[in-house]
Amino acid sequence: MTLYIGRESSKLWKRICAELVTEITLLAANWKYLLAGLVGQYIHGLAARGVHYIHRPGPTLQDVGFFLLPELGEERAYISETLFTFIFIAFVLWTFHPFIFKSKKIYTVLIWCRVLAFLVTCQFLRILTFYSTQLPGPNYHCREGSKLARLPPPETLFEAFVIVPRGVLYGCGDLIFSSHMIFSLTFVRTYQKYGTQRFIKQLAWSLVVIQSLLIVASRKHYTVDVVVAWYTVNLVVFFIDKKLADLPDRTAASLLLPLSTKDKDSKSKEENHKLLNGISGDPADRRQRTQVNGKIMEDGNTVVHADATMNGA
C-alpha cells in the first residue's frame, strides 16, 4: 500500500511539474492580457466605490421581484453570498485541474485570458449603466438611516484608491446590472463550452437560477439588475467568443507539451522499424519498389543488370 501511494505521488508530482512548465511558457506569451484583465477588475472596483460617494438613499422602488419573493431578512442575507462563493471557488479550482488530472481539455492561462476578456467587457458596460442613473439602494446598509448609505469624501489618496474590504462588502449605488451575475454567468458559460461533465453543467445552471432568486430575496439588487445581467452577459460572451481564437485541443495536439522519455524512445523505435523495412517517414518518398535478380528497382528509374545476356549482347 505504501509503495502504491509513493508511486502515485511520484506520478502526480511529475504531472504537476510538466504542466507547470507548459503554463509558464504560455504565461510568458500572454501575461499582458492577464495583467490587463486584472487592472480592469481594479478599475471596476474603483468605479463602484466612486458611485457610492454620490449615492443618495431613498425609498425602495416598486419591484415585482420584491412582491413575489419573500424577504430573507438581514440575518439570512449571507445565503446568497455563500452560494456565490461556492460557484466562484468551484470554477477557480476547475481551471487548475490540468495540474492534477490526466484527462485535460484546457490550458489554465488561456482559459483565464478568455474569462477576463468576458468580465472586463461586461464590467465596462456595467460602469456606464450605474453611472448613468443612480437608484436608491435596496440593501439594508444602503437605506435611509444607515451610516453606510453615504460615504464621506476621502481624506487621503490612500483611502480613495483602497477598495477592500469595505468597498466590496458595503457598496451602494452600483446596481444596474448585478456584478455577482456577471461572474456567475461568465463562469457557467465557460464551463458549458469547455467542461466535460454533463451533470455539473446542469447543476451549474440550476445554481445560477437559484442565485438570481436569492439576490432579489436578499434585497441586494432590484429585479431589473438581475434580468439585464442575464441577457447582457450572455450576449457579450456569445459575440466575444466568436471573435476570439478558440483554445487549442489538448487531446489532438501536443506542441506545447514536452514528450516524456518513454514517448521519445517509443517514437524512435517506430521510426527505426520503418527505415529497416524500407518505409520512409516522408509520404512523398514512399515509391513503389520492385526486386529483380537481387537488385531493387524504383519506379523503373534504376538500371537492372541481368546475369544472362540476351540476343547475343
Residues labelled as active-site residues: 180, 221, 225
Neighbours of 234 (CB within 10 A): 14
Nearest to 160 by CA among 46, 51, 54: 46
In angstroms, the CA 61 to CA 59 distance is: 6
Nearest to 190 by CA among 112, 242, 243, 248: 112
What are the residues whose beta carbons fall under 8 Å from the beta carbon of 303, sequence distance 6 or more? Answer: none
In angstroms, the CA 281 to CA 272 distance is: 10
What are the residues whose beta carbons fall under 8 Å from the beta carbon of 290, sequence distance 6 or more? Answer: 296, 297, 298
Q: Which residue type sits at 14?
A: K
In angstroms, the CA 195 to CA 202 distance is: 11
- SS3 per residue for 268-280: HHHHHHHHHCCCC
The sign of the dihedral angle between the CA atoms of 274, 276, 279, 282 is: positive
Contact 281, 267 (CB under 8 A): no
Nearest to 214 by CA among 75, 64, 69, 80: 80
Helical segments of the chain, H only = 2-53, 64-68, 78-95, 108-132, 157-161, 166-169, 179-194, 198-217, 223-243, 261-276
Angle in degrees, CA 87, 114, 208, rounded to 5 = 25
